[in-house]
A and B are shown apart, each in its own frame.
Chain A
Amino acid sequence: SQQGEEDPQALSIQEGENATMNCSYKTSINNLQWYRQNSGRGLVHLILIRSNEREKHSGRLRVTLDTSKKSSSLLITASRAADTASYFCATPLSGNTPLVFGKGTRLSVIA
């Protein structure tokens, strides 16, 4: 079953531009996580934001969480060609259940 749903499905930008990806989810959560997947590779954890946090930064990444709207956004600033990947949001369906992933946003950064 799907919990998070990313938007847009695909995004193409020029190097140096910012990339914004959104995630909407359905149930109350205790945390929301973002992962990156390079082509042919496993998923790599980027950042975790808890339900009592509104914003979190990690390097060029900025994540926001709006629990009233059940939505999150991932902003990558000053994008690089190496940021080309698929990005997934993930949340537990409820309580202490394992993470459920959206279908991801495919980001292409053109040099």
Chain B
Amino acid sequence: DAGVIQSPRHEVTEMGQEVTLRCKPISGHDYLFWYRQTMMRGLELLIYFNNNVPIDDSGMPEDRFSAKMPNASFSTLKIQPSEPRDSAVYFCASSSGHEKGTGELFFGEGSRLTVL
């Protein structure tokens, strides 16, 4: 199994630009999570999906952030417009539903975003 695949691994952009992060979960997993990791705040849950439907987006910091899951094998996290404080590592993780989303998470390698 290829695991959770994220792209890009690194992104450097300028303030005000649109950023799109992508994630392919493990085939057969019906939960998908987006987390953000910073030194100051640690790992924060941004949003999660079950069967492609957003369940809780209360962790999305602002309206500048949006996430979609058009099908079971693809999700995007978009930031528009980006700001320097959005600089962080963004992780996508997936899990199977037998623990209703509280079981083992499989993480991607992350997308390191730097906004100048």
Q: A residues engaging B (CB < 8 A)?
A: 2, 30-31, 33, 35, 41-45, 48, 88, 90, 92, 96-104
Contact = CB atoms under 8 A, between A and B. Distances in A.
Interface size bracket, B side: 20 to 34
16 contacts: A2-B42, A31-B99, A31-B102, A33-B105, A41-B110, A42-B110, A43-B91, A43-B93, A43-B105, A43-B107, A97-B101, A97-B102, A98-B45, A99-B45, A101-B43, A104-B42
Contacts of B33: 98
A45 B95 CA distance: 11
A25 to B, nearest CB: 13
A98 B43 contact: no
Interface of B: 4, 31, 33, 35, 42-43, 45, 48, 56, 91, 93, 99-110
A41 B45 contact: no
Chain A residues touching B, majority SS: strand
A48 B4 CA distance: 20
Contacts of B103: 31, 48
Contacts of A99: 45, 102, 105
Return the 5 tightest CB-CB contacts between A and B, nearest first: A42-B107, A103-B42, A101-B43, A96-B100, A92-B102
A97 B99 CA distance: 10
Contacts of A41: 109-110
B102 A44 contact: no
Contacts of A43: 43, 91, 93, 105, 107
B54 to A, nearest CB: 12
Contacts of B48: 98
B24 to A, nearest CB: 14
Given A42-B91, A98-B48, 5 more contacts: A31-B102, A41-B109, A96-B101, A97-B56, A97-B101
